Amino acid sequence: MRVIAILGAVLGLGTALAAQSSASSSTWFLSSIELASGEEQDTLLYKLRPQQGAGLVAHPCAMSATYVLEGGFPAALDATVLGSPWLTGVRPYYVPQRGSPTLTLHGTELNLGPTPIVTVGGQPATVGVRANSQLQITMPDQPVPGYQPVLVTSVFGNTILTEGVGVLPMIELLCPMLSDTPNGLRIRGTQNDVMVLAMSFGLAGSPFALPPYGYSFQLDFGLLVLSSGFVLSGGDTLDLIVPPLALTGLIYVQTFTFSSSNPGYAPGSFSNVVRI
């Protein structure tokens, strides 16, 4: 992963978890208060099964010593003891917009009752093999990149992961915005992608679309403040470190994939839009 500073541009941590390194390894231990033994906890109404979501990673928040959890833990109170499907994670966590990738939904009691309805990003998925702790689906094409919800609807109720999958190519803020704190953007794609990043002070009234390729360019051409090309030569991600910005929340950022080896979105796909 490479880190690049954007000079003269944009930005500016909210609640996060502190982490400390395990000697010289890449393993991080989260510092927090222990509230339970680590075993499954049951009450008369709810159960808590300590199982982290797929793709959960601790990474540094820009230039600070604070670490944030990427992926997140599912809510503990979403499933009742008496029987209700409960999602805890999705694998793989990052997938292209097209190509009908196979996803495995992890959780518990996913095989209760008739075949459930599953949507990804609001689009209906095809349900395959079911088991108590896993449910395989074929993901439909996604009209919008970025983090998208995964929803399972059954006769027993709903269970949802609001950021269930990351649809590529995508861009995200590393941390919540503060006007006086350095922040960063993380661009996700495929190694050796050639991309262009654009920043604008507004969104277009009529987004510019390239019909064969999916999502459209959402920024206002007349209010562009920055356009720069780059290559994901160091892996599938690129971090852009940006200094604090007094005008927090007024700049919109989007990327365009000029070329890629990933047939699920290239060439010609735009990422989601992030407001910084």
Instruction: Give tens-digit pLDDT for 55-89.
Output: 455 555 544 555 555 544 444 444 454 578 888 88
**Exposed/middle/buried for residue 199 (C-beta within 10 Å: 0-12, 13-18, 19+):** buried
pTM: 0.72
Read off the pLDDT band of 249 (50, 70, 90).
Answer: low
Whether the CB-CB separation of 193 and 251 falls below 8 Å is answered with no
Give the chain's domains with CATH numbers.
Answer: 2-11+175-275 (2.60.40), 19-60+67-167 (2.60.40.10)
**Does 20 have pLDDT greater than 60?**
no
Nearest to 66 by CA among 77, 57, 58, 74: 58
Q: What is the pLDDT of residue 5?
A: 32
Q: What is the pLDDT of residue 128?
A: 96
Read off the pLDDT band of 207 (50, 70, 90).
Answer: confident
Strand locations in 38-193, DSSP E? 41-42, 47-48, 57-60, 67-70, 86-91, 94-96, 102-108, 117-120, 123-124, 126-130, 134-138, 146-154, 157-168, 170-173, 183-188
Q: What is the pLDDT of residue 83?
A: 75
pLDDT digits (tens, 9 = 90+) for 31-44: 443 344 444 444 54
